[in-house]
Amino acid sequence: MSNLHRIRWFDGQIREGNYPNSTALAGQFEISKRQAQRDIEYLAYSLSAPLLYVAKYRGYCYEDKTYALPLLYMTEEEQKILNYLARRYREYNYDGAPAVNRVANLLDRFAPNDAPPDFRLPVFDTNPRLIDHAERMSEAIAREAVVTLTYKEGAETDSLAVWPLKLLSRYNCDYVAVYSAAEHRRRMLRLDCIVGMTVTADRFDASGLEEREWSGDGGSERIAKKPFTAKLGLREPARGPSWNGYRMRSTDDPLVYLVEFHDTDAFLQQLWMSGSAWDTLLAPRWLIDKLERRCSAVLRQLAQSKER
């Protein structure tokens, strides 16, 4: 249990006029009196709490009742970011998932105290635009409000009117599950492909929609239930079990690894950004062809730019 939980409880007991002490704190959280006293000292010296011990009640009160716990205050923007990260951690299902899920369930624990010493939380992008989209979609879901949006995937741009049903995170990407009344089908749209959106005053009723599999992100490609595997040659041996967050396995060649991925576009983008870290893409053939087409398109665009 984080000491922030205990300090918050102790602060609440003081404000309720219960005059808590180290014995009460130790009993409440099943810790030693020595640990409880350290928490009280932390509150007094590190958090500058105006603690006063009242012998008559054998407990503490605040000399200045206007005192507030400064390090536990959270701005609205910080709350938005934590709400976003909480959902990402809650749906994380890869290495160290149990510890990550516990972090999601106890947001005010800033680190999983019972995790292995070398455990590190996965890093998720907190792009302000994604957080904004997630927050507004969450509001629309709660209000059952129709959302109009501009959705750009690749070279195609669509104007859609959808019923947002649920926010999800899959394979390190954020999605919103929606129902398109015009197309009479469900879709799963990537939040990072939403260029602009408006939560309208129109309402919808999703009670009649049955649970079924979602169509692929943007409708063009199904999300794989099992990961794809790329055979990747690196410039130097890997230092861990993953490459840029992607799970990987070694082969007989110390520089060749099998890298698992689910989202093709995200993986190709990672290859593009990490060009200096890998040497050869050996398989699968369809992924090599797709990367070649993208590179060729960029080269053609550069050639056209030079001609202008």
Q: What tokens were used for 275? A: 């060009």
Position with higher pLDDT, 219 vs 48: 48
Q: What tokens were used for 264? A: 């093709």
- What pLDDT was estimated at residue 222? 38
138-161 per-position pLDDT tens digit? 888 888 899 999 998 777 888 999
- What pLDDT was estimated at residue 214? 44
Predicted TM-score (pTM) above 0.85: no
Nearest partner of 227 among 171, 177, 287, 273, judged by Cα: 171
Position with higher pLDDT, 174 vs 20: 20
DSSP 193: G
* Averaged pLDDT, 124-147: 79
Q: Hey, what CATH topology would domain 128-203 get?
A: SH3 type barrels. (2.30.30)
Position with higher pLDDT, 194 vs 209: 194
In this structure, of 26-35, 72-81, 152-161, the range with the lowest mean pLDDT score is: 72-81
- What pLDDT was estimated at residue 97? 52
- What pLDDT was estimated at residue 131? 74
First to last CA, the chain: 64
CATH ID of 3-72, from 2.60.40.10, 3.30.428.10, 1.10.10.10, 3.30.420.40: 1.10.10.10
Q: With the CA atoms of 234, 236, 238 and 239 taken in that order, what torsion angle do they form, in degrees rounded to the nearest 10?
A: -160
- What pLDDT was estimated at residue 273? 78
* Averaged pLDDT, 55-82: 74
86-116 per-position pLDDT tens digit? 666 666 555 555 655 555 555 444 433 343 4
Q: Measured between alpha carbons, how far is 146 from 130 in angstroms, rounded to an integer? A: 19
Q: Measured between alpha carbons, how far is 205 from 149 in angstroms, rounded to an integer? A: 19
Residue 132 has pLDDT above 90, yes or no: no
* Averaged pLDDT, 270-281: 84
- What pLDDT was estimated at residue 88? 64
- Sign of the alpha-carbon torsion through 136, 138, 139, 141: positive
Kindly report, as residue ranges, where domains of CATH 2.30.30.100 are found in the chain.
Answer: 128-203
Kindly report, as residue ranges, where domains of CATH 1.10.10.10 are found in the chain.
Answer: 3-72
Q: Measured between alpha carbons, how far is 302 from 50 in angstroms, rounded to an integer? A: 66
The percent of residues above 90 in pLDDT, for the chain, comes to 24
